Amino acid sequence: MPAAPGGPRLLLRRLREAMAEPVSPQARLDRIVVVIAANVIAEVCSVYVLRDDNTLELFATEGLNREAVHLTRMRADEGLVGLIAQTAEPLSLSDAQTHPAFSYRPETGEEAYHAFLGVPLLRAGNTLGVLTVQNKTYRVYSDEEIEALQTTAMVLSEMIASGELQGLAPDAGTAARRAVNARGVVLADGIGLGHVVLHEPRIVVKTLIAENVEAEIARLEAAIEAVRSAIDDLVERGDKIGTGESREVLETVRMFAHDKGWLRRMREAVVSGLTAEAAVERVQSDNRARMMRQSDPYLRDRLHDLDDLANRLLRRLTGQEGAGAGAYLPDNAILVARSMGPAALLDYDPSRLRGVVLEEGGPTSHIAIVARALGIPAVGEVENATALCDSGDAIIVDGVSGEVQVRPGPEIEAAYAEMVRLRAKRQEQYRALRDVPAITRDGIRIGLHLNAGLLVDLGHLNETGAEGIGLFRTELQFMVAQRMPSAAEQQALYEAVFAATGDRPVTIRTLDIGGDKILPYMPKLEEENPALGWRAIRIGLDRPALLRVQLRALLRAAAGRPLKIMFPMVATVDEFVRAKAIVDREKAHLRRHGHPLPSDCRLGAMVEVPSLLFQIDEIAQVADFLSVGSNDLMQFLFAVDRENRRVADRFDPLCAAAIRAFRLIAERANAAGCPVTVCGEIGGRPLEAMALIGMGFRDLSMSPASIGPIKAMVLSLDARAIADVIDAEMARAHDGASIRPALAAFAKAHGIPV
Pick from 131, 162, 384, 150: which is nearest to 266 by CA? 150
- End position of a domain, from candidates 301, 318, 335: 318
Task: Based on the fold, state whether residues 481 and 396 are members of the same structural domain.
Answer: no
Report residue 528's pLDDT band, with 50, 70 and 90 as the boundaries. Answer: confident
Of 102-106, 167-171, 505-509, where does the model show the most confidence?
505-509
The answer to whether 118 touches 81, Cβ cutoff 8 Å, is yes
The answer to whether 686 touches 746, Cβ cutoff 8 Å, is no
Give the residue with greater pLDDT, 353 vs 13: 353
Task: Based on the fold, state whether residues 409 and 314 are members of the same structural domain.
Answer: no
Lowest mean pLDDT among 218-232, 242-256, 297-311: 242-256
CATH of the domain at 91: 3.30.450.40
Task: Based on the fold, state whether residues 351 and 488 are members of the same structural domain.
Answer: no
Q: What average pLDDT does range 657-670 have in this prediction?
A: 96
Q: Pairing between strand 191-198 and 394-398?
A: antiparallel
Task: Based on the fold, state whether residues 734 and 586 are members of the same structural domain.
Answer: yes
| 413-437 tens-digit pLDDT | 999 999 888 888 888 889 899 999 9
Q: Percent of the chain beyond pLDDT 70?
A: 89
Q: What average pLDDT does range 447-461 have in this prediction?
A: 87
How far, CA to CA in Å, does 621 sit from each of 191, 388, 528? 45, 56, 35
Q: Could you tell me if residue 508 is inside a domain?
A: yes
Task: Based on the fold, state whether residues 192 and 218 are members of the same structural domain.
Answer: no
pLDDT number for residue 362 = 72
| 360-418 tens-digit pLDDT | 877 766 678 778 878 899 999 898 888 888 888 999 999 988 999 999 988 899 999 99
**Distance from C-alpha of 194 to C-alpha of 192, rounded to nearest angstrom:** 7
CATH of the domain at 664: 3.20.20.60
Packing angle, helices 276-292 and 143-161, rounded to 10: 90
Task: Based on the fold, state whether residues 221 and 193 are members of the same structural domain.
Answer: no
Q: Is the pLDDT of residue 7 over 80?
A: no
424 Cβ contact partners less than 8 Å away, ≥ 6 residues apart: none
Lowest mean pLDDT among 170-184, 440-454, 686-700: 170-184
The yes-or-no answer on residue 601 being catalytic is: no
The answer to whether 94 touches 256, Cβ cutoff 8 Å, is no
Q: Could you tell me if residue 754 is inside a domain?
A: no
Task: Based on the fold, state whether residues 443 and 414 are members of the same structural domain.
Answer: no
Pick from 536, 346, 590: which is nearest to 457 by CA? 346
CB count in 10 Å sphere of residue 148: 27
One-letter amino acid identity for 377? P
Q: Which position among 366, 389, 449, 655 bears the catalytic label?
A: 366
Task: Based on the fold, state whether residues 346 and 390 are members of the same structural domain.
Answer: yes
| 459-494 tens-digit pLDDT | 889 889 999 999 999 987 787 676 788 999 999 999
How many domains does the chain fold into?
4
pLDDT number for residue 240 = 36
Task: Based on the fold, state whether residues 643 and 509 are members of the same structural domain.
Answer: yes
The yes-or-no answer on residue 679 being catalytic is: yes
- End position of a domain, from candidates 294, 318, 342: 318
Task: Based on the fold, state whether residues 408 and 471 are members of the same structural domain.
Answer: no
Q: What average pLDDT does range 510-539 have in this prediction?
A: 77
Q: Could you tell me if residue 650 is inside a domain?
A: yes
Task: Based on the fold, state whether residues 23 and 141 are members of the same structural domain.
Answer: yes
One-letter amino acid identity for 196? V
How far, CA to CA in Å, does 423 sit from each of 111, 187, 284, 418, 430? 59, 18, 42, 9, 10
pLDDT number for residue 662 = 97
Q: What average pLDDT does range 556-565 have in this prediction?
A: 96
pLDDT number for residue 242 = 36
CATH of the domain at 194: 3.50.30.10
Report residue 332's pLDDT band, with 50, 70 and 90 as the boundaries. Answer: very high
| 194-234 tens-digit pLDDT | 999 988 777 777 778 888 889 999 999 999 888 888 877 76
Task: Based on the fold, state whether residues 155 and 303 are members of the same structural domain.
Answer: no
pLDDT number for residue 325 = 46
How far, CA to CA in Å, does 526 sit from each of 246, 247, 515, 516, 643? 9, 9, 10, 11, 18
By residue range, what is the domain housing residue 331? 180-199+326-419
pLDDT number for residue 136 = 92
Q: How far is CA 62 from the centre of its chain?
A: 45
Report residue 2's pLDDT band, with 50, 70 and 90 as the boundaries. Answer: very low
Q: Could you tell me if residue 428 is inside a domain?
A: no
**Distance from C-alpha of 444 to C-alpha of 232, rounded to nearest angstrom:** 63
Q: Could you tell me if residue 208 is inside a domain?
A: no
DSSP code at position 204? P
The answer to whether 451 touches 471, Cβ cutoff 8 Å, is yes
CATH of the domain at 245: 1.10.274.10
Q: Is the pLDDT of residue 246 over 80?
A: no
Calculate ∠ Cα 572-536-631, nearest 5°: 85
Q: Could you tell me if residue 526 is inside a domain?
A: yes
Residue 569 DSSP SS3: coil
DSSP symbols for 476-524? HHHHHSSSPPPHHHHHHHHHHHHHHHTTS-EEEEPP--BTTB--TTSPP
Mean pLDDT of the chain: 86
Q: What average pLDDT does range 723-750 have in this prediction?
A: 92
Q: Could you tell me if residue 204 is inside a domain?
A: no
Q: Is the pLDDT of residue 730 over 90?
A: yes
DSSP symbols for 685-699? SHHHHHHHHHHT--E
| 41-92 tens-digit pLDDT | 899 999 999 987 889 999 999 999 989 998 999 988 899 999 999 999 999 9
pLDDT number for residue 515 = 66
How far, CA to CA in Å, does 573 sit from each of 345, 424, 609, 616, 617? 38, 47, 12, 9, 10
Give the residue with greater pLDDT, 16 vs 741: 741
Of 110-114, 136-140, 162-166, 312-316, where does the model show the most confidence?
136-140
**Distance from C-alpha of 84 to C-alpha of 271, rounded to nearest angstrom:** 25
**Distance from C-alpha of 518 to C-alpha of 452, rounded to nearest angstrom:** 19
Residue 61 DSSP SS3: strand
Q: What are phi and psi of 648, to 5 degrees?
A: -60, -25
How far, CA to CA in Å, does 117 sit from each of 46, 96, 102, 122? 10, 9, 13, 16
Q: Could you tell me if residue 726 is inside a domain?
A: yes
For the chain, the residue count is 754
Residue 62 DSSP SS3: strand
pLDDT number for residue 239 = 41
